[in-house]
Amino acid sequence: MPSEQPIGSPRYPPVPHALTSAFVRDQLALRARSVNTQPERRTGEFVLYWMQSTQRFADNWALRFATREANRLGLPLIIHQGLDPTYEHASDRIHSFILHNARELAQRAERGGLRYQFVLRRRRNDDRRAVDRVAARAALVVTDDFPTAGIAERTQRFAARCACRVVAVESHAIVPAALFVKEEWAARTLRPKVMANLLHALEPVADALPREDASEALWRSLEVDRLDLSGDLAGEIARCEIDHSVPPVPLKSGRRAALARLRKFCDDALPRYDERRSDPADPDGSSRLSPYLHFGQVSAAEVARAAIAAVGRPGAERFLDELVTWRELALNFALRNLNFRSLAALPDWVHRTMAAHAQDAREVVYTREQLERAETHHPLWNAAQRELVATGSIHNVMRMYWGKSVLTWTATYDDALQHLIHLNDKWALDGRDPSSYGGIQWCFGKFDRPWGERPVWGTIRSMSLERAYKKFDALSYQRRWNGEESGL
């Protein structure tokens, strides 16, 4: 039953639900799904939570499910996280963000009485599948349900070879993604449905430790090579067989940094978010929380509650539209359309217009390498690419110009899509996320409608870098990222 208390009222948030409550049971019924058909292992010594995309202990539905299952079975809970050199675009940038958060998790686990371990596989030929060895002694395995970054495929492969029950739990969305079984057409079709459920889904839960603690003997007997996270993480990363040409970014990783950023955003920028978010020369006009959200260091529900507590629901509406409607539209897309990384995901009208304009002369054609090195004729585009390489992100408005421009600078639409996915997944700290593919495909007409016909664009909505100079202080943005390079 939805809460009767309006969000933003002095009584919001309501009293948190207990982990044993009907609210939590109902949420988990929507969020959890079995990935194989194996039974629970009767001789299992613990419940294993294999942490993948939700890299936090608070507001984590998979951890809640695992804790409830551990209590039901009277078993302790072990939390395992691993990092391999084999994921797509494995780099110092991504490794560093994950490892520094893991260090904080280890400290929290130590203080909070949770059993958390981290295993780093440094080289491709090193012994692999530490999780399999731990899972071999588990009654059941709980993991995160996440459609991108290779996690769905990894989970599927693991579940196929695991001899006990494997359950994947979705914690990415505020409103459980399972409520929307079909692919949504546009923000306008999803918006009323997610917004009607938002109030209920935001009700807080009082997380609790599992009743049984793992004995020291059990903990020591798990034969995996645990990483000492208090050690030299940069040195560990240097020893990994990954792409060292993509360096870490200055952005501090971890929940503490995420919550500090959230607080600052709610105090400073949120009251004028609608206006400030549209100015790329104002780097703090939006939350810049996407890397923390992508790695699950903070939950979207925590962000939404903080925003509503700061300015009330009406004041937060514009921000919630991005955080909930657009973010969950992207999740729905990645879950319900297996072609989310290909042009095949686009609607029929886009295919018709692309076919009609495939042979149009392109003003210029760039290779992927030229784009990656920011070697185009346009200083504003180069500035956005340089921001991406330097910081792991591009301002939201510039991200649209960045994506749309490439559509007209390649021989085929497919080249454009693949270049964008490559650049974004490789350099963006929030890359490989459902919102990555939702955002990039939006540049090609996904979630949109036909506009006026133009060369190369066809009826896809066009965006011109020249016009950007009239809309915001593009010269300041450009100077900031290009150094001394002057305007057009």
Ligand X SMILES: Cc1cc2nc3c(=O)[nH]c(=O)nc-3n(C[C@H](O)[C@H](O)[C@H](O)COP(=O)(O)OP(=O)(O)OC[C@H]3O[C@@H](n4cnc5c(N)ncnc54)[C@H](O)[C@@H]3O)c2cc1C
Q: How far is the CB of 445 from ligand X (least distance, A)?
A: 12
Decide: 145 and 169 in contact? Cβ < 8 Å.
yes
Find the largest Cα–Cα distance for the chain: 70
CB of 121 to ligand X, least distance (A): 25
Q: Candidates 289, 316, 334, 389: give the one binding ligand X (CB under 6 A).
A: 289
For residues 312-329, b (16+ Cβ closer than 10 Å) or e, as one string?
ebebbeebbbbbbbbbbb
Selected range binding ligand X among 48-56, 256-264, 282-290, 410-418, rule: CB under 6 A? 282-290
Residues 6+ apart with CB under 8 A from 239: 122
Q: Which of 53, 332, 424, 459 binds ligand X (CB under 6 A)?
A: 424
CA distance 204 to 59: 8
Binding residue for ligand X, selected from 64, 115, 327, 386, defined by CB under 6 A: 327
Instruction: Establish if 54 lies at the interface with ligand X (CB under 6 A).
Output: no
The label of the residue with tokens 């900031």 reads 480
User: For residues 29 and 260, which CB has a smaller minimum distance to ligand X in the complex?
Assistant: 260
Applying CB under 6 A, does 180 fall inside the site for ligand X? no
Q: Would you state the structure tokens that stand for residue 15, as one six-digit string?
A: 């009293």
CB of 432 to ligand X, least distance (A): 7
Which CB sits closer to ligand X, 67 or 286? 286
Residue 176 belongs to what H/E stretch? Answer: none
> Structure tokens of 258?
């995420």
- Count of residues for the chain? 488
Q: What angle do CA 297, 303, 304 make, to 5 degrees?
A: 145
By beta-carbon proximity to ligand X, the closer residue of 5 and 396 is 396
91 binds ligand X (CB under 6 A): no
- Asked if 296 touches ligand X (CB under 6 A), the answer is no
Q: Does 290 engage in binding with ligand X (CB under 6 A)?
A: yes
Provide, rounded to whole angstroms, the least separation between the CB of residue 55 and ligand X.
15
Q: With binding defined as CB under 6 A, does residue 148 bind ligand X?
A: no
Does 277 help bind ligand X (rule: CB under 6 A)? yes
Supply φ then ψ for residue 418, to 5 degrees: -70, -35
Among 82, 176, 431, 445, binds ligand X (CB under 6 A): 431
Closest CA to 165 of 131, 146, 144, 139: 139
Q: Are 275 and 318 in contact (CB under 8 A)?
A: no
Closest to ligand X by CB, 11 vs 263, is 263
User: Is residue 403 a contact point for ligand X (CB under 6 A)?
Assistant: yes
What does the block give as tokens for 458? 């066809």
- Within 10 angstroms of residue 376's Cβ, the number of other Cβ atoms is 18
Q: Tell me the residue number closest to ligand X, measured at CB.
A: 439
Which range of residues in 132-140, 304-312, 397-405, 473-481 is near ligand X by CB under 6 A? 397-405
Give the tokens for residue 105: 């998790």
64, 137, 154, 294: residue in contact with ligand X (rule CB under 6 A): 294
CA dist., res. 129 & res. 265, Å (int) = 40
Quote the least distance from Cβ 240 to ligand X, whole Å.
23
Which of 295, 381, 442, 457 is close enough to bind ligand X by CB under 6 A? 442
Chain centroid offset of residue 387 CA: 20
Residue 439 touching ligand X (CB under 6 A): yes
CA distances from 238 to 104, 246, 431 (A): 20, 12, 22
d(CA 181, CA 221): 43
Residue 121 interacts with ligand X (CB under 6 A)? no
Listed ranges 17-25, 86-94, 232-240, 322-330: which one lies at the site for ligand X (CB under 6 A): 322-330
Query: Among residues 55, 91, 376, 435, which is the contact residue for ligand X, using CB under 6 A?
Result: 435
Q: Is 247 within 8 Å of 107 (Cβ atoms)?
A: no
Near ligand X by CB under 6 A: residue from 227, 323, 389, 468: 323
Total binding residues toward ligand X, as defined by CB under 6 A: 29
Amino acid identity, position 411: A
For ligand X, the binding residues (CB under 6 A) are 277, 286-290, 293-294, 322-323, 326-327, 330, 396, 399-400, 403, 424, 428, 430-431, 433, 435-436, 438-440, 442-443
